[in-house]
Structures are given as C-alpha cells and as structure tokens.
Amino acid sequence: MTPAEPSPTLTTESLALSYGPRRVIDSLGVSLPSGQVTAIVGPNGCGKSTLLSGLARLHKPESGAVLLNGADIQNLPARTLATQLALLPQEAVAPEGLTVSELIRFGRQPHQGWLRQWSAEDQRVVEHALAAAGLEALAERPLEALSGGQRQRAWIAMTIAQQTPLLLLDEPTSALDLGHQIEVFELVRHLACHGRTVVMVLHDLASACRYADHLIALCDGQIVAQGAPAEVVTPELVRTLYQVDCTLMIDPDTGSPLLANVRRASP
C-alpha cells in the first residue's frame, strides 16, 4: 500500500552530531531522494549509524538541523514524527514470546489511541504488512522460532505497518547469511517500488551497489561521495573508504558496479 501523502523530503542542514566532546558528524548536508533506496556506506566508525540516529531524532544535533519537509524534526511531537518516519535499529530485540503478528501490530501504535485500539484500517494494514513481508504463514509463530531472515522481515513488517513514507534501517542484514540477506534486500526494493523512501546503513559496499539507487559514502563524518552507485563508485573511492584496492567491473545483468580482486592497498 502506497502511503497516501506526497513523499516528504528529509534533508540535513550543516548537521553536527557529537558523542560527548567527540564530533562524529560535522557540518553535513544531505538530501535523501524520495521514493528511492539510499545506502549510507563507509568504514567502521565513520559515523554512519550516528547519522541515521540523527535523522531519526535519536541523537540531538549539536548544531544544524534535520528537516522533514523543511520543518526541524526537533520541534515535532514524537507521535507525529512516528507517522512520518519509521526506524529499525540495529539488532532490535522484542519481549520474549511475542508472535510475528503481535510484533507487527505494535507498528500501528502511532495511529492508535486509548479509545482507538483496533480499527478496520489497523486490520487491513497489518494484513498487508504480513503479506508484503511474505509472513502470512508464520503470523502466529513466536519470533524466537523464526530464522534470522524471517525475524528481520518481521521487524521490517512492523515498520511497514507504521505506514510511514520514510523508512530508516540500521544495518538490516548485518547478522544474516547470504540467502537471508537477499530476502531482506528484495523486500526493501519492493517497498521502494511502492513509493517508500528507504535509507539504510550498510557496511557491505557490494550490497549497497546492488540494491541502492543512491549512495552516500562517509569517511570521518564527512561525505566523500554521493550519487548513483554506477556513477560514484570508483577504485579511488573504494581505496579512500576502506584502504583496499580492487578491480571494478559492471554486472552484466544489472549494470551495477561489482568489486573484484579486492586486496590490501599497495602503499
């Protein structure tokens, strides 16, 4: 189900984020293209997860701002923000014993209230989220009984049920094997096809090239490149980010960049 509203825009304006005295992100200005999948990549500790939590208002900016349709998200009520922007944190954990459909129903929370606990809309959206994530058959299973990929899909289904035009995912595939990673990435593509704007932090540049429309490469809290993967990924960029050399090829099936013969950079 496509969010009914026109896609909102999420941008940052000279954003600075710090942990105590350490400035992790410095005067960063990004604009996240609507209806596309954006991947934030970069070496460990470059500030990509920090940037994502800044975008989700989990991290208060030291200066600058994150703007949703031009309005500073710091001024939005938590609930309003939760109807615009959904976040899946890294390694999310649920109370023991919760089933898939129970988890997904929690995604309806921002749309519900004390006297509006379960509407036809809620029911329709939860059923849709189960179907979109391919979890209908597992709806009443406890989360613990699922495979890693299924569980991650259940979490994404919860954010689908939140019906937000914007979806932020922090390393959604970090603990998954290849098959399960593909399950998750294909779901993400499916969501973007239906009009959602997805932003995900990835540590794997190869998956970012394959599944993202837009790439933001961070190094030491600064943007070193942004744009379509086919345009911005170069051996030089890979070297800057990860201190490795590689041979760059074009995937004959998808046209996206492929990294081959990756090796430690020669001095």
**Binding residue for other proteins, selected from 123, 234, 254, 261, defined by CB under 8 A:** 123
70 binds other proteins (CB under 8 A): yes
Q: What does each C-alpha distance from 172 to 65, 152, 179, 186, 258 come to in angstroms?
A: 25, 7, 14, 12, 21
57: left (phi over 0), alpha (psi -120 to 50) or beta: left
3-state helix, strand and coil shares in percent for the chain, rounded to the nearest 5: 35, 30, 35
Taking the complex as a whole, the smallest distance from the CB of residue 25 to other proteins amounts, in Å, to 17
Q: Is 194 in the site for other proteins (CB under 8 A)?
A: no
How many whole angstroms separate alpha carbon 103 and alpha carbon 73? 26
Of 101, 146, 89, 141, nearest in space to 125 by CA: 101
Residue 192 to residue 204: CA distance in whole angstroms: 20
Return the range that interacts with other proteins (CB under 8 A); candidates 56-64, 198-206, 214-222, 226-234. 56-64
Residue 50 near other proteins by CB under 8 A:
no
Residue 115 CB, shortest distance to other proteins, in Å, is 4
* Residue from 15, 24, 66, 87 in contact with other proteins (CB under 8 A): 87
Residue 19 interacts with other proteins (CB under 8 A): yes or no: no
69 binds other proteins (CB under 8 A): yes
Which one among 38, 50, 53, 181 touches other proteins, defined by CB under 8 A? Answer: 53
Residues forming a β-bridge with 10 = 32, 68
Q: Is 197 helix (H, G, I), strand (E, B) or coil?
A: strand
60 binds other proteins (CB under 8 A): no
Contact 126, 104 (CB under 8 A): yes
137 binds other proteins (CB under 8 A): no
191 binds other proteins (CB under 8 A): no
Q: Determine the interface stretch with other proteins among 84-92, 227-235, 236-244, 259-267 (rule: CB under 8 A).
A: 84-92
- Number of residues located near other proteins, criterion CB under 8 A: 58
Q: How many residues comprise the chain?
A: 267
21 binds other proteins (CB under 8 A): no
* E strands present in the chain: 10-19, 22-28, 31-32, 37-41, 63-68, 71-72, 85-88, 166-170, 197-201, 214-219, 222-227, 244-250, 257-264
Task: Output the smallest distance, CB 222 to other proteins, in A.
Answer: 25
| Nearer CB in complex with other proteins: 194/247 | 194
Residues that bind other proteins (CB under 8 A): 4-6, 8, 53, 56-58, 68-72, 75-89, 92-98, 101-102, 105-107, 109-112, 114-121, 123, 126, 140, 159, 162-163
